[in-house]
A and B are shown apart, each in its own frame.
Chain A
């Protein structure tokens, strides 16, 4: 069975359906059928002003979503007679970079490309019709915003809504924004070293630049998510796995503090930098890592918000207690899981 193309009359039908007040009430029916993450639970208790299908997390991709949406739609009166398709497909945006999470999800969902068509885009959501199903590709919680004044014709940096495969609240960008909390350090490679120290400051391991570059390195492709809401998919780095850095070290420590030139620190559970989850990266996109992006070497921990990927890394301090770092001690979330939108304290 190949993907059916959506016909114009099906699309027009959905546009009419979702532009009436009654259909907005009907959207609650859709809502209840879906995966109940804590975000969705919050949204249920707030007044929704827009049609929302809350999609997020691994459980929402693929068969789960298709079945859930189908089940709810079946008991909802429809003014048209098109047969309900059995699959949902993430829509729109450029082709997913091979190997990225987005590509994996798309491949799991459809045997072939089933591109949909954007039928309506509002301030906070887009509604696309894919294989005959309406599918909201990004959503916001129903807080009552004070409406800022929209400036006619202002677009801002090139970006796209997060299409299912970025964490909630994120958008995709083409460029690589530089955010700095201080001046770019200027360190000569002959003066650079990377150390692992224990709580008392005793050096457990040390590499100078030559020794560090001689360590076995990996090429990785990862998605990165900044707490300021931009994401980049399929970024390519070369670096030394933290498993290698910590490999020869015996420790009972449960936490690590990454420290950098310029005084920046960030804290992580030790388990989050092991098992192939973290690298000390020195090349980005086939070139030496530029100073403004953290060169000569930075920490790379893509499963957490990017402030945890400390630029200008000089070492890891292993600690038995968790010590909030530069941003964690002034409002940013101590752990920082983008998929649970852990941006600030209390999230």
Chain B
């Protein structure tokens, strides 16, 4: 897999901490919803740093999209979210990963659980589900600290239909008239909005490592088979 050159065509602020980069990548092969890319930045003196980012756009979109969350003492995300501008370039390699993908080739229900920036690959899956007209039932459970931290909020709400449900859990603070879930994603919420283990849904869990381990543990505790649960840990800080 060789390194390709990505040129930033557009930057879209999503929340205070996140920016979506819309990229032109000549020779980009098609990808599958849920895959990621490796991004490499090289400084003038040859020093380079590399990070992985989930692809935020579904297969078939006009441009490749990455949504990056700024980690304050990070090395790469501050550059991508605050310095990088239209016309700037970096290298990327991909698409990568055959594990954390959803193609919609079967009709089993799909439970997507994302924490913070873990919603990025799940958004690609939801958009792919909508674009492909899949008949599988899909439910996205998205945990964020506050309403202002919810990435893609309008878009995800607009995609809700009889086959695509959305539950947003706000863990730190919520508006007084909040109709979604308050507090962490726990076994109770997962049992309420998900499907019973006998239905054998596909489960995808993505976000900071602690979030993923807590949710995956809760799903197993509810009786879901570990083999039906696919996880993508973003590391201690959440990527």
Q: How far is the CB of A293 from chain B (nearest CB, A)?
A: 16
Contact with B along A146-168 (1 / 0, CB 8 A): 00111111111101010000000
In-complex Cβ contact of B75 among A122, A123, A151, A156 (8 A): A156
CA–CA, A153 to B79, complex, Å?
8
> Does A237 have its Cβ within 8 Å of any Cβ on chain B?
no
Q: Are B3 and A148 touching (Cβ within 8 A)?
A: yes
In-complex Cβ contact of B83 among A121, A122, A140, A154 (8 A): A154
CA–CA, A123 to B76, complex, Å?
19
> Does A171 have its Cβ within 8 Å of any Cβ on chain B?
yes
Q: How far is the CB of A284 from chain B (nearest CB, A)?
A: 20
Q: Are A152 and B46 touching (Cβ within 8 A)?
A: no
Q: How far is the CB of B111 from chain A (nearest CB, A)?
A: 28
Best-surrounded residue of B5, B45, B46, B84 (most CB of chain A within 10 A): B45
Question: In the complex, which residues of chain B have a beta carbon less than 8 angstroms from the beta carbon of A122?
Answer: 44-45
Question: In the complex, which residues of chain B have a beta carbon less than 8 angstroms from the beta carbon of A150?
Answer: 42-44
> Does A45 have its Cβ within 8 Å of any Cβ on chain B?
no
Contact with A along B63-84 (1 / 0, CB 8 A): 0000000000001100100011
A window 107-129: CB within 8 A of B: 121-124
Question: In the complex, which residues of chain A have a beta carbon less than 8 angstroms from the beta carbon of B89?
Answer: 149, 151-152
> In the complex, which residue of chain B has the Cβ closest to the Cβ of A157?
B75
> In the complex, which residue of chain B has the Cβ closest to the Cβ of A150?
B42
Q: How far is the CB of B175 from chain A (nearest CB, A)?
A: 38
Sorting the interface of chain B by its residue count into under 10, 10 to 19, 20 to 34 or 35 or more gives 20 to 34
Q: Are B42 and A153 touching (Cβ within 8 A)?
A: no
CA–CA, A153 to B89, complex, Å?
10
CA–CA, A152 to B7, complex, Å?
12
Q: How far is the CB of A119 from chain B (nearest CB, A)?
A: 15
Question: In the complex, which residues of chain B have a beta carbon less than 8 angstroms from the beta carbon of A159?
Answer: 47
Q: How far is the CB of B20 from chain A (nearest CB, A)?
A: 18
Tell me whether A154 and B41 are in contact in the complex, defined as CB-CB below 8 angstroms, given that A148-B3, A149-B89, A149-B91 are known contacts.
yes
Question: In the complex, which residues of chain A have a beta carbon less than 8 angstroms from the beta carbon of B45?
Answer: 121-124, 161
CA–CA, A161 to B44, complex, Å?
12
Tell me whether A151 and B42 are in contact in the complex, defined as CB-CB below 8 angstroms, given that A156-B75, A157-B75 are known contacts.
yes
> Does B163 have its Cβ within 8 Å of any Cβ on chain A?
no
Q: Are B90 and A151 touching (Cβ within 8 A)?
A: yes
B window 8-22: CB within 8 A of A: none
Contact with A along B1-43 (1 / 0, CB 8 A): 0010100000000000000000000000000000000001111
Tell me whether A154 and B46 are in contact in the complex, defined as CB-CB below 8 angstroms, given that A148-B3, A148-B91, A149-B90 are known contacts.
no
Question: In the complex, which residues of chain A have a beta carbon less than 8 angstroms from the beta carbon of B186?
Answer: none
Q: How far is the CB of B64 from chain A (nearest CB, A)?
A: 16
Q: Are B79 and A154 touching (Cβ within 8 A)?
A: yes
> In the complex, which residue of chain B has the Cβ closest to the Cβ of A147?
B42
Tell me whether A153 and B88 are in contact in the complex, defined as CB-CB below 8 angstroms, given that A148-B3, A148-B40 are known contacts.
yes
Question: In the complex, which residues of chain B have a beta carbon less than 8 angstroms from the beta carbon of A140?
Answer: 46
In-complex Cβ contact of B88 among A121, A151, A157 (8 A): A151
CA–CA, A245 to B49, complex, Å?
40
> Does B48 have its Cβ within 8 Å of any Cβ on chain A?
yes
Q: How far is the CB of A169 from chain B (nearest CB, A)?
A: 11
Q: How far is the CB of A142 from chain B (nearest CB, A)?
A: 14
In-complex Cβ contact of A156 among B5, B47, B84 (8 A): B47
> In the complex, which residue of chain B has the Cβ closest to the Cβ of A159?
B47
Q: Are B43 and A154 touching (Cβ within 8 A)?
A: yes
> In the complex, which residue of chain B has the Cβ closest to the Cβ of A160?
B45
Q: Are A151 and B84 touching (Cβ within 8 A)?
A: yes
Contact with A along B174-205 (1 / 0, CB 8 A): 00000000000000000000000000000000
Question: In the complex, which residues of chain A have a beta carbon less than 8 angstroms from the beta carbon of B41?
Answer: 151, 154, 156
Best-surrounded residue of A122, A153, A171 (most CB of chain B within 10 A): A153
CA–CA, A303 to B143, complex, Å?
48
Q: Are B46 and A151 touching (Cβ within 8 A)?
A: no
Question: In the complex, which residues of chain A have a beta carbon less than 8 angstroms from the beta carbon of B83?
Answer: 153-154
Question: In the complex, which residues of chain A have a beta carbon less than 8 angstroms from the beta carbon of B43?
Answer: 150-151, 154-156
21 pairs from A and B in contact (CB 8 Å cutoff): A121-B44, A148-B42, A149-B5, A149-B42, A150-B42, A150-B43, A151-B41, A151-B84, A151-B88, A152-B88, A153-B83, A154-B41, A154-B42, A154-B79, A156-B43, A156-B47, A156-B75, A156-B76, A157-B49, A161-B45, A171-B47
Q: Which B residues contact A (CB, under 8 angstroms)?
A: 3, 5, 40-49, 75-76, 79, 83-84, 88-91
Which 4 residue pairs spanning A and B have beta carbons closest together? A148-B42, A154-B41, A151-B41, A151-B90
